[in-house]
Structure 1
């Protein structure tokens, strides 16, 4: 499942703030060292290009959860717990609220878990839960009737 646009915007907003701080430091350093402002301008232009490329990737290709036949992988979720596991290692999947956020929690047989806030996902959240349950059943060798 892709990254929700609101989450991508939040990540890009943080990057813009960091870029602003870097630009101020570069121009202050150039002014203090009496260096031509052309060098900091060039660096800021390159950083803006990198920011645009990162935004394009975040909005078109970045994913939060990748579900495969063998298992899953989670990215961009701080505090997710286990970021990857095989379906055979998953005990069960439950929906719950964590810090007032709706989440899918994949509880692992070894006692660990993976928490996926569904607000991070673009697309149909209910369909995501269905797909997780289907993959979990297939991973156990079971088929839905």
Structure 2
């Protein structure tokens, strides 16, 4: 069983907002260049196309998974400062609930001393459901009964 988790809608909206703001600045600068340098107005097409491509690309990028849980282990991508990005479930010693800057997190502690810390607010997931799913994967990997 594979479970994929995407970025939270709030984080996606922030990224799209920043992209739109950057695009607006780019188009404004291009408009000023057209006016000051007496360029043809067709020169505005290039920045507008770049902004549209950036927006579509960001929407596609944010809709793909950032955390994947499989029978063998987990993978994390596109999230910074999380620690270890992937590991087999057998390499995970335990899971603990933590908090980082007031944000609830799940920390997977590895047998080799490494950790993976996932801010639950960054994921489009129910916190209880996510921790339960991770616990089930850990229990199966370590030969324990299913959680009740």
Shorter-normalised TM-score: what interval?
0.7 to 0.9
1:3: which partner in 2?
7
Is the aligned partner of 1:84 residue 2:86? yes
| Cα pair 2:16 2:55 within 8 Å, conserved | no
1:107: which partner in 2?
109
**Unpaired segments of 5 or more residues in structure 1?**
none
**Unpaired segments of 5 or more residues in structure 2?**
none
Please tell me the root mean square deviation across aligned C-alpha atoms, in Å.
2.1
| SS of corresponding position for 1:17 | helix
1:33-86 superposed Cα distances (whole Å, 9 cap, x missing partner): 43212122x123313432442354256x32231111111112332211112222
Q: Which residue, 44, 49, 53 being the options, matches 2:52?
A: 49
The normalised TM-score by structure 2 is 0.83
The normalised TM-score by structure 1 is 0.84
| Cα pair 1:64 1:120 within 8 Å, conserved | no
Count of paired positions = 143
| SS of corresponding position for 2:140 | helix
- Name segments (4+ residues, structure 1) moved above 6 Å: none
